[in-house]
């Protein structure tokens, strides 16, 4: 039997609608905050609910180490990240967090009414890691340059006043 982990980045009602569209014999696990547990506990297809520490955004730092290890032990066939954004921008912390879990695939989908389990789009792990590394590398190089130019402009401004 396949196991999937759904990381809730969408309104609970829409995630429940997505779950109801899954006809296959699949064990569904949810990663969510405590506030939404009661809704998923009623869903028969949901085997287990993992919770974050706080009711804030998901990140690797907002989940207890024990929970991270428990999720990793499950060896999921698929991690699914449902969202409403046009692109994956803004979901980087969730995708990054999902890299720590033991999963064959990571998929996402932009939610529209009537979306089904067949509308999943893969996230290439290697491409994502490369893109994030490149972004941090560029930011690391540009920050000192920007800081230097800013200090130089302030210094020139102070010298002109005198």
Domain ranges of the chain: 2-123, 125-162
d(CA 29, CA 84): 20
φ/ψ bin of 119: left (φ > 0), alpha (ψ from -120 to 50), beta (otherwise): alpha
Q: List the structure tokens of 139.
A: 């930011």
Model confidence, pTM: 0.78
Amino acid 116: pLDDT: 58
Amino acid 136: pLDDT: 85
Cβ atoms of 37 and 132 closer than 8 Å = no
Mean residue pLDDT of the chain comes to: 85
Q: Which neighbouring-strand residues pair with 24?
A: none
Best CA proximity match to 26, nearest among 45, 6, 49, 50: 45
pLDDT at 9 over 80: yes
Q: Which residue's structure tokens are 């779950």? A: 19
Amino acid 14: pLDDT: 85
Q: List the structure tokens of 136.
A: 């941090």
Mean per-residue pLDDT, 92-119: 80
Beta strand 103-110 with 121-122 is: antiparallel
The yes/no answer on whether domain 2-123 falls in CATH 1.10.1060 is no
């Amino acid at each position: 039997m396949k196991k999937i982990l759904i990381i809730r980045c969408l309104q609970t009602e829409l995630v429940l609608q997505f779950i109801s569209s899954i006809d296959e014999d699949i064990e569904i696990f949810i990663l969510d905050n405590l506030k939404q547990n009661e809704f998923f506990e009623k869903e028969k297809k949901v085997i287990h609910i993992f919770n974050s520490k706080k009711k804030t955004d998901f990140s690797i730092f907002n989940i207890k180490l024990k929970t991270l290890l428990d999720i990793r032990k499950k060896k999921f066939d698929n991690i699914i990240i449902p969202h409403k954004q046009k692109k994956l921008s803004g979901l980087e912390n969730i995708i990054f967090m999902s890299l720590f879990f033991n999963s064959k695939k990571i998929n996402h989908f932009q939610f529209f009414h009537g979306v089904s389990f067949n509308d999943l789009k893969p996230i290439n792990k290697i491409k994502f890691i490369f893109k994030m590394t490149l972004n941090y590398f560029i930011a690391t190089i540009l920050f000192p340059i920007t800081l230097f130019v800013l200090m130089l402009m302030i210094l020139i401004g102070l010298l002109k006043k005198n």
